[in-house]
């Protein structure tokens, strides 16, 4: 048994930002404004006197590739967008007034990729890995008075990623002015040796940097509970490495339903003077992993209901945006998700911050590749030189987040085929992690069964991650790993397109429409419908749970279209314009697919029922229509035009679904997770009613829509902050004259945004279109499209107009506060 009990802390950028140049000497401010950008090589652009007058102004974060255009000459596997090439950023800034005798630090949360940085023409440093945070002390390069120039060159390469990585300085940049004696970067680590109902013992490890010499340096710690009341304090002698303990009485635990967060203030005292300070928020909770009993959070058995997420934000590209990330996680919570796997790289600070706040557990993953290349120009080029530093920096940065509960050292690593290399590198990476954090287990996503289990490679980590091997749960894997817990680190890989239904229901590899039926049964050879995993986990309660591939659609990897891993010379353009994932339970805009509700029916308790397909089948040649219902209720009754088509009992009335994947002997599964009917089509309505204890609880109705007649705008938020980055996601529905949703509509909608905001992007969830994301128009895809509106920096009103030829237009307004 792996038993872990600990308290974690996290550093919040906004909390630190609030401590601006105060008595403790801590200063951090955004460094995102005032940049210039040039797409292309610019010899000599690192020089301070370089003429950049022709460059365009650019606020960060920024992803230059999402601007497009889509083109078949780019790799559809990486989104069909121009993410590779050379890009330059320059900024002129004044030396901070309080910088004399202090350290001026520039922090990049992430830059894609192979970043080279110069200040006033002098080379400062390089960081290849685009997903890792890095910091440079630029004090010695600054002019004592006056202006300075920072230049950043990025060189993302073609065939460097298996998905869309984005390009540019796509995460936040910060400038810190700190005292020479200070808390080091990621220099606070908090664990809890004991957690009980009455009290929790907090152990704080602090690393200081600077010449302490014979100075009388002390560290003062103050702990504040979720309400802001001070609940513990301690003062101790400050050394390069300092450890101390505090006690919190009556701890309020962090968990999925109640993510309680405390705050720790660390103040560095030089004699009586406060010279440095950092704020840290943290949560108190316990973890327990058992081969026999699975996973427990705060002593309560908890099944992992997880999703894998890539880092892009759909139509916004890879650019980090707080609201985009928050919304993505909120949608996942609605589906019943309680855990995120950051596939396949370290995430943004913002994602972890929101997971802390929302109560989502996180498996943080380091790499998609080690020494053996999956694509010619991948991270394997940098692994030998940078892997130790990158994975250690990942752990140092993220080890205090209460949401982080597991470290992954890799995904589907090709070294699985080599006993010597696989075992050696896995042990090496595991040791790097354990040298910095022994409070969480390690894992790795293995897809080559039984290879890494038989060779012992899977035993180098604490938890075996199994990708697409539900048939191996139990006796087969136990023969190789008698003591290690198992988690489904990637499961299902079912593909579908929102609102698309192909009849008759049949298994196929690809369809001429370049879409995939939403009857939730199509996938590549390794993949299977979600029902297979539900069944396997039900039979094996000791398995920790699953991470489905994926929660959201993402840019790139348009499986089942375009190509295969490690073939077609790395390019996936055979089925152009398919250029985005079909894997998500939610499409690229955040619109739920039917599969969203299938998972919701298994992962949530609030009574729900969902019905599919749409009910517009006139003149299609299909007379009998298969109807499915997904529910967590005991029974469901279907009504067609008010007439009952009968009740179905969940778990008793089974639905035959077609199945074909590696090592599965049958061609179908009689699923107890779906209810079904086959009924003749007649225009009107399709209504389902869920019953518990014989009483109707939820219901859902869809109606046959008439000719598209009007547009309906539905903003997800009507109030935005005047911070130049807040977002409102405006759903654009095509309806008939009676307000019924038109599920087949493809009208082109044009947008006008006036006032204190602008268009950030548009989209519609169609994985097979080259229509641009940065535009003022979009075609509806199966009745829906999306307008993303961004606030300006002034208080006021935003007016949004949507119009389309032949349709009644709609207007909505947003308040910027």
Return the active site residues: 412, 490
CA distance 711 to 717: 18
The residue count for the chain: 817
CA distance 486 to 446: 11
Rama region for 30: left / alpha / beta (φ>0; ψ in -120 to 50; rest): beta
Chain mean position to CA 217: 41
CA distance 447 to 467: 5
Buried/exposed 591-624: b ≥16 CB within 10 Å, e otherwise: bbbbbbbbbbbbbbeebbbbbbbbbbbeeeeeee
Residue 599's φ and ψ, nearest 5 degrees, are: -70, -40
Pick from 590, 587, 585: which is nearest to 551 by CA?
Answer: 585
- For residue 181, CA distances in Å to 20, 220, 671 come to 17, 14, 63
Q: Are 640 and 682 in contact, with CB atoms under 8 Å apart?
A: yes
Strand intervals (E) in 588-694: 609-612, 624-631, 635-640, 643-649, 655-658, 668-671, 675-680, 685-692
Pairing of strands 463-467, 442-446: parallel
What would the two tokens of residue 94 be? 């004044």
Q: Are 730 and 714 in contact, with CB atoms under 8 Å apart?
A: yes
CA distance 484 to 224: 38
SS3 384: helix
- Element holding 14 (H helix, E strand): helix 13-17
Q: Which residues contact 148 (CB under 8 A, 6 or more apart)?
A: 48, 92, 93, 94, 95, 119, 120, 141, 142
Q: How many CB atoms lie within 10 A of CB 532?
A: 23
Pick from 204, 209, 338, 218: which is nearest to 262 by CA?
Answer: 204
Q: Are 547 and 489 in contact, with CB atoms under 8 Å apart?
A: yes
CA distance 386 to 33: 30
CA distance 28 to 32: 12
Pick from 696, 700, 728, 668: which is nearest to 600 by CA?
Answer: 700
Q: Are 724 and 791 in contact, with CB atoms under 8 Å apart?
A: yes
Q: Are 67 and 80 in contact, with CB atoms under 8 Å apart?
A: no
| β-strand partners of 269 | 218, 274
SS3 218: strand
Pairing of strands 241-249, 199-209: antiparallel
């Amino acid at each position: 048994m792996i038993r872990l009990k600990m308290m974690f802390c996290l550093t919040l950028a906004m909390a630190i930002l609030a401590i601006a140049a105060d008595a403790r000497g801590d200063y951090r401010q955004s460094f995102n404004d005032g940049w210039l950008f040039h797409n292309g090589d610019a010899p000599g652009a690192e020089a301070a006197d370089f003429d950049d007058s022709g460059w365009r102004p650019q606020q960060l974060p920024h992803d230059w590739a999402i601007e497009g255009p889509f083109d078949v000459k780019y790799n559809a596997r990486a989104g069909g967008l121009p993410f590779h090439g050379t890009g330059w950023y320059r900024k002129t800034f004044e030396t901070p007034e309080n910088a004399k005798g202090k350290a001026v630090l520039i922090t990049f949360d992430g830059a894609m990729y192979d970043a080279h940085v110069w200040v006033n023409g002098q080379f400062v440093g390089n960081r290849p890995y685009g997903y890792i945070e890095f910091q440079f002390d630029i004090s010695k390069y600054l002019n004592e008075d006056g202006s300075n120039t920072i230049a950043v060159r990025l060189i993302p390469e073609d065939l460097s990623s298996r998905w869309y990585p984005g390009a540019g300085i796509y995460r936040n940049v910060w400038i810190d002015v700190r005292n020479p004696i200070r808390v080091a970067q990621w220099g606070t680590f908090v664990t809890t040796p004991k957690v009980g109902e009455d009290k929790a013992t907090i152990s704080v490890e602090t690393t200081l940097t600077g010449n302490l010499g014979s100075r009388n340096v002390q560290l003062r710690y103050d702990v504040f509970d979720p309400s802001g009341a001070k609940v513990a304090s301690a003062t101790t002698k400050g050394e390069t490495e300092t450890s101390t303990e505090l006690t919190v009485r009556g701890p309020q635990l962090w968990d999925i339903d109640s993510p309680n967060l405390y705050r720790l203030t660390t103040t560095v005292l030089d004699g009586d003077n406060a010279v440095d300070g950092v704020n840290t928020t943290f949560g108190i909770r316990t973890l327990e992993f058992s081969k026999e009993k699975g996973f427990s959070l705060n002593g309560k058995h908890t099944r992992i209901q997880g999703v894998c997420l890539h880092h892009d934000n759909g139509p916004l590209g890879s650019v980090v945006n707080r609201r985009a990330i928050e919304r993505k996680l909120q949608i996942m919570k609605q589906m019943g998700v309680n855990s995120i796997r950051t596939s396949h790289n370290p995430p943004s600070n913002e994602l972890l911050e929101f997971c802390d706040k929302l109560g989502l557990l996180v498996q943080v993953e380091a790499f998609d590749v080690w020494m053996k290349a999956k694509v010619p120009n991948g991270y394997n080029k940098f692994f030998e030189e940078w892997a130790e530093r990158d994975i250690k920096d990942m752990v140092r940065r993220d080890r205090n987040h209460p949401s982080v509960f597991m470290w992954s050292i890799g995904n589907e690593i090709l070294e699985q085929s080599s006993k010597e290399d696989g075992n050696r590198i896995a042990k090496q990476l595991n040791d790097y992690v354990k040298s910095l954090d022994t409070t969480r287990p390690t894992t790795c996503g293995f897809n080559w069964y039984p290879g890494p289990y038989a060779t012992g490679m899977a035993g180098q980590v604490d938890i075996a991650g199994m990708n697409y091997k539900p048939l191996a749960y139990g006796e087969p894997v136990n023969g190789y790993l008698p003591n290690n817990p198992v988690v489904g680190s990637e499961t299902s890989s079912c593909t579908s397109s929102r609102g698309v239904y192909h009849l008759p229901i049949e298994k196929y590899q690809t369809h001429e429409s370049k879409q995939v039926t939403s009857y939730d049964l199509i996938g590549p050879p390794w993949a299977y419908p979600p029902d297979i995993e539900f069944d396997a986990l039900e039979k094996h309660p000791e398995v920790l749970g699953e991470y489905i591939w994926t929660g959201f659609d993402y840019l790139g990897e348009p499986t089942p279209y375009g190509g295969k891993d490690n073939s077609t010379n790395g390019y996936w353009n055979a089925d152009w314009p398919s250029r985005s994932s079909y894997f998500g339970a939610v499409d690229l805009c955040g619109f739920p697919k039917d599969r969203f509700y299938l998972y919701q029916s298994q992962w949530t308790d609030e009574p729900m029922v969902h019905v599919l397909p749409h009910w517009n089948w006139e003149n299609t040649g299909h007379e009998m229509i298969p109807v499915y219902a997904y529910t967590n209720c005991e029974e469901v009754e279907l009504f067609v035009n008010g007439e009952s088509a009968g009740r179905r009992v969940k778990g008793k009335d089974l639905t035959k679904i077609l199945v074909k994947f590696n090592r599965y002997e049958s061609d179908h599964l009689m699923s107890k997770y779906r209810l079904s009917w086959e009924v003749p089509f007649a225009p009107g309505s399709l209504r389902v009613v869920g019953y518990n204890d014989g009483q109707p609880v939820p219901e859902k109705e869809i109606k046959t829509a008439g000719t598209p007649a009007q547009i309906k705008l539905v903003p997800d938020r009507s109030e935005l902050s005047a911070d130049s980055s807040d977002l409102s996601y405006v759903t654009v529905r095509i309806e008939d004259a009676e307000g019924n949703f038109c599920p087949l509509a493809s009208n082109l909608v044009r947008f006008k945004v006036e006032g204190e905001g602008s268009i950030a992007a548009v989209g519609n969830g169609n994985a097979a279109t080259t229509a641009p994301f940065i535009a003022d128009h979009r075609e509806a895809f199966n009745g829906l499209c999306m307008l993303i509106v961004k606030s300006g920096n002034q208080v006021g009103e935003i007016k949004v107009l949507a119009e389309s030829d032949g349709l009644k237009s709609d207007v909505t307004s947003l308040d910027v506060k």
